[in-house]
Amino acid sequence: NAGVTQTPKFRILKIGQSMTLQCAQDMNHNYMYWYRQDPGMGLKLIYYSVGAGITDKGEVPNGYNVSRSTTEDFPLRLELAAPSQTSVYFCASSYTSGTQYQPQHFGDGTRLSIL
């Protein structure tokens, strides 16, 4: 099991460019999440998904889009990158079904700088 895999690990973008952060999990988890972590700060939820085809906004969704076409993949799209989006982005997944629960497991993160 690879767990949660994020690509790329590092990326530098110019203001106004777009990119997609990839996230894949092989644990058959139904929930997937995207967080951002600014330097010295906690984790803020951007978007999450409870299953394929279903996504919902978190605390800080502006400037981002997501899709969930399969159980395994949950890409995060940045349109028109802005310096305020410079951050470390973490993808996570978990499993919830009735009384069964597997807690959130995080990927290694993508460090994104917008210059």
CB count in 10 Å sphere of residue 7: 14
Bond prior to 75 in cis (omega within 30° of 0): no
Q: What's the min distance (Å) between Cβ of 31 and other proteins? A: 6
Bridge-based pairing of strands 64-66 and 4-7 is unpaired
Q: What's the min distance (Å) between Cβ of 70 and other proteins? A: 20
What are phi and psi for residue 85, nearest 5 degrees?
-90, 5
Nearer to other proteins, 16 or 57 (CB): 57
- Per DSSP, the three-state class of 37 is strand
Nearer to other proteins, 8 or 16 (CB): 8
Nearer to other proteins, 14 or 62 (CB): 62
Report how far residue 77's alpha carbon sits from residue 89's, in angstroms, rounded to the nearest whole number: 12
Q: What's the min distance (Å) between Cβ of 103 and other proteins? A: 5
Q: What's the min distance (Å) between Cβ of 9 and other proteins? A: 11
What are phi and psi for residue 83, nearest 5 degrees?
-55, -30
* Binding site residues, other proteins, CB under 8 A: 31, 33, 41-45, 48, 50, 58, 90, 94, 96-98, 101, 103-109
Nearer to other proteins, 12 or 54 (CB): 54
